[in-house]
Structure 1
Amino acid sequence: MHTKTTKLHRFTGGLAIGLGTGTIGLAFVAFQNPTIPLDFAGATALIGIFTMAIGRVCMSDRSELEMHDAEMDMSENAEAPAAA
């Protein structure tokens, strides 16, 4: 099953990466401010990293990976009878 990255996937991925970048920026500002607890700043940084990772997954095109896997399976099957 081959799935192409749709416009909605690209939009949500870009939005998630943008939100993650902004969240990491907020965490950086929170680290610089002595009145904000470090627990909040650390949690904010982790949320930003996870949000960016989700965005990256949304934007990845899985069809190329699936094609590569299918080619590798075909080459392994072709070599098996020759080795025996």
Structure 2
Amino acid sequence: MEDPLHPFELHNFLPLSLFGLDVSVNKAVLMMWVVVGLVTLLLMKAGGARALVPSKLQSLAELLVDFIRGIIHDTMGASGMRYFPLISA
């Protein structure tokens, strides 16, 4: 009988070890890098051209920031907002 969780196993593309820690690159790590890169590009492009009336891209970036702030406030309360820069980075 085949393992039903087999499709969800993470296989390393690039096995690496750093100071005894496993820092191998797999599908999950690769997708996180892609998402972080895309979000970084979005925020840099949206923040580059400032205008009195925000563009659609600036509105999208603001929506993303407000979403993260809302999650932090709902889970940690007002005192958790001091961790916003750490969590959003």
| Superposition TM-score, scaled by structure 1 size | 0.38
| Superposition TM-score, scaled by structure 2 size | 0.37
Q: Which structure's CA Rg is the greater one?
A: 1
Larger RCO: 1 or 2 (CA < 8 Å, sep 6+): 1
Q: Which structure: greater helix fraction?
A: 1
Q: Which structure: greater strand fraction?
A: 2
